[in-house]
Amino acid sequence: MKHAILAAALILAAASTTQAADPANGKMIYDMNCVVCHGVGGHPVLPAAPSFAKGERLMQPDTMLIESIENGKNVMPAFLGILRRQEIRDVIAYLRTLHR
Ligand code: HEC
């Protein structure tokens, strides 16, 4: 009985732990899906797009950035159903490396 409870606790712990965001994978996703507008290294190609190289819009918490990326914003297309939540977390981790 004690073992069963311990096993259940371990399974719950594993399920609730989100995988750490991977900026290297995020770069690959960015280069395929975002670079056309947001540009290489976050220097925007499209005038309306924020410059991630300047850290624009990145002062928002991840939850709000996820919301914008999943649902889109004006010209910014929605990526819900295109990118998985973990991929979006990876791409945000990459965006946060661009401002220096
Ligand atoms: C078709 C061009 C285009 C593509 C492709 C694109 N974006 Fe954007 N993105 C924009 C524009 C334009 C804005 C500014 C939207 C606004 O605030 O009006 C924007 C805004 C954003 C913002 C700021 C949102 C906010 O809440 O302020 C983030 C973050 C972002 N884009 C990330 C991404 C990521 C990540 C990808 C690739 C998965 C991507 N974008 C692909 C054009 C694009």
Please write the tens of the pLDDT for every residue from 27-36. Answer: 999 999 999 9
Please write the tens of the pLDDT for every residue from 50-93. Answer: 999 999 999 999 999 999 999 999 999 999 999 999 999 999 99
Measured from the Cα of 92, ligand 1's closest atom is 35
| 62-71 vs 85-98: helix crossing angle, rounded to 10 | 120
List the domain boundaries for the chain: 20-98
Q: Which CATH superfamily groups domain 20-98?
A: Cytochrome c-like domain (1.10.760.10)
Among protein residues, the one whose CA lies closest to atom 23 of ligand 1: 57
CA 44 to ligand 1 centroid distance, Å: 10
